[in-house]
Homo-oligomer: A and B are copies of this chain.
Amino acid sequence: MQYSDRVLKTPSSFIRNILKVTDSPNVISFAGGLPNPVSFPVNQLQEAVERAISSNGAKIFQYASTTGYLPLRQYIADKYNRLNNLGLTADDILLTTGSQQALSLISQVFINKGDGIIMEEPGYLGAIQAFTMSEPTFYPVTLEEDGLNIEELQQALVKPNAKFIYTVPNFQNPTGLTYTMERRQEIYDLIKNEDIFIIEDDPYGELRFEGDHLPYIAAGKTDKSIILGSFSKTVTPGMRVGFVICKNKEFMSHMETAKQAADLHSNIFSQYTIYEYLTHNDYTSHVKKIIDLYQSQANVMLAALEEFFPENVTFTRPQGGMFIWATLNNGMSALEFFHKAMAVDVAFVPGDPFYASKTNVNTLRLNYTNATPEVIREGIQRLAKILYEVEVAETV
């Protein structure tokens, strides 16, 4: 039996495979991308379940609409209008089974085999995986300190059948980088007259602990703008509630068809529950608690990197989110470093799976949201020791 080309091409998640190895309690893991459990308002969600059942009864257990629970879609529209002045209605929102499903559906809706996707490099692994199932051609564009490299983007835009650009403009996964105001404007100027959509995938946007909230690249300015959002990083990932925001009616109608085919509709019980939670609690101060924690964890890791790492290792300084990105400039590959690190029970994600076009890279992702200050310092010290041993070996 011959399986489909698309599934044979699609990598199973490198990270999920790493996590199976690193899941032991002895291992100090900077490999995951999990929210700290402090971000789950457990008691309030339990109360929300009770209210959702007592106010709605059997309805929340029945089949439901493909687009999602209307009051929750209206809540999301109102919130994005308030924060970003986008002029949205509930019809501009489609609820999905996590943002991952949105990535899968968008590529299904746009991509014929071989069509182009312009993609940050390094870029989000889950997006590479979701898109690969539609057999696209990837046009990678280097992600720099300030955002997508403009010259490379220009070159990519003239490629045939490029259907959309995929970006994570705030606290990107895997690099932690944030597009500057100027770069956002440059990108928009470049694409505004092109027949191409731009996805701004923004799961971490609310988790800013430094700098000012920045406007989206294209949202609110063109109907070829798609924003992806999620409750996974601020309420619960386990309930799989994400959403697509787009004012283009034709696109949204195709997305509804694709979603019907994919799973009929998302879990309606969880949509009611999250809506009840959001409308009966102080969400802003809940998010503030997560931000304060992540800021303190990021600061501890950055201080440890400065204190313990050799100077030839550079790293990003995130303004929010969950990740730091390090570059080895000592000739070692990230995979070699990973194997040495696992020998001293420290895990991270080598950069390789985040590149559509490169292997054996010298970059790696460090997550700081799931360890105490003591554990973060201990883990970074162990990694530093490996790096100094390599230097000594090379000097000798």
Contact = CB atoms under 8 A, between A and B. Distances in A.
Given A61-B237, A267-B267, 12 more contacts: A1-B195, A4-B108, A4-B109, A4-B111, A11-B257, A40-B62, A61-B238, A62-B236, A101-B263, A133-B258, A240-B263, A240-B266
25 contacts: A1-B195, A1-B224, A7-B108, A7-B258, A10-B258, A16-B260, A34-B62, A45-B53, A45-B61, A61-B238, A61-B239, A62-B236, A62-B237, A63-B237, A64-B238, A98-B264, A101-B262, A101-B263, A132-B261, A133-B258, A133-B261, A236-B269, A240-B266, A240-B267, A262-B262
Contacts of A196: 1
A171 B4 CA distance: 31
A108 B126 contact: no
Q: In the assembly, how many copies of this chain are there?
A: 2
A60 B264 contact: no
A232 B8 CA distance: 31
A104 interface: yes
Given A7-B109, A42-B58, A109-B7, A1 B263 contact: no
Contact of A257 (B10, B60, B239): B10
A6 interface: yes
Contacts of A132: 261
A50 interface: yes
A209 interface: no
A256 B49 contact: no
A62 B37 contact: yes
B61 A7 contact: no
B40 A61 contact: yes
B260 A13 contact: yes
A173 interface: no
Interface of A: 1, 3-8, 10-13, 16, 34-35, 37, 40, 42, 45-46, 49-50, 53, 57-58, 60-64, 66, 97-98, 100-101, 104, 108-113, 115, 126, 129-130, 132-134, 163, 195-197, 224, 232, 236-240, 250-251, 253-254, 256-258, 260-270
Contact of A62 (B66, B238, B265): B238
B254 A267 contact: no
Minimum-distance CB pairs A-B, first 6? A37-B58, A61-B236, A40-B61, A97-B263, A238-B268, A61-B238
Contact of A3 (B3, B5, B110, B266): B110
B267 A5 contact: no
Contacts of A58: 37, 40, 42
Contact of A42 (B42, B61, B110, B264): B61
Given A50-B46, A62-B238, A262 B7 contact: no
Contacts of A129: 260-261
Contact of A16 (B66, B163, B263): B66
Contacts of A50: 46
A6 B62 contact: no
Contact of A262 (B34, B104, B239): B104
Nearest to A104: B262
A18 to B, nearest CB: 14
A191 B163 CA distance: 42
A200 B171 CA distance: 46
A322 to B, nearest CB: 12
Contact of A261 (B10, B34, B270): B10
A133 B61 CA distance: 28
A100 B264 contact: yes
Contacts of A237: 61-63
A248 to B, nearest CB: 9
